[in-house]
Structure 1
């Protein structure tokens, strides 16, 4: 078995938005089991979520909501400028 570590680079906004989505899917709903039927796939999902939780101070700040919405807006603007169709960040959860 190969235990070589793989590094993934995300911007802080990407990490913040992904962390929030993972938290919603994993802890605020029953969606994870529905979305990810293969239990083996859950291992890296939990690893990514745990790593993000330890790196992001934003998730514990009192103004978490406004910061998250601002990050979503910036990411959507970046996608739109890269040629993606514009979408509402709130509808992408």
Structure 2
């Protein structure tokens, strides 16, 4: 097996939004075990989360929420989607 590390490149907005999501599912709730049932996957997720935390100054800024919302909006726009997520229509 090759022991060379794998490099993943993200834009600053991608990194910021992913960092927030990882924090939400790994640190603020018990969602990780519901989303990822194979605990072997937790190791790389925690590594990615820790790497992002070290690389992103935005997570320590007082306007975190505003910056996060702006990053999410830019990513949605870049993907050609709507600016805000929509709730699914209730079934009749």
Pair in the same fold by TM > 0.5:
yes
Q: Where do residues 52-71 of structure 1 align in structure 2 (5 Å cutoff)?
A: 52-71=52-71
Q: Deviations over 1:42-76 (max 9, x none)?
A: 11000000000000000000000000000000000
Q: What is the total number of aligned residue pairs between the two structures?
A: 87
Consecutive unaligned residues in structure 2, runs of 5 or more: 88-92
SS at match of 2:75: helix
Deviation at 1:29, TM superposition (A): 1.2
Q: Mark the CA change 1:11 to 1:89 in structure 2 (over 3 Å): closer, same or farther.
A: farther
Detail structure 1 runs of 4+ shifted over 6 Å in the superposition: none
CA distance, structure 2, for counterparts of residue 74 and residue 46 of structure 1: 26
Structure 2-normalised TM-score? Answer: 0.87
* Structure with bigger gyration radius: 2
SS at match of 1:70: helix
Consecutive unaligned residues in structure 1, runs of 5 or more: none
CA distance, structure 1, for counterparts of residue 36 and residue 84 of structure 2: 25
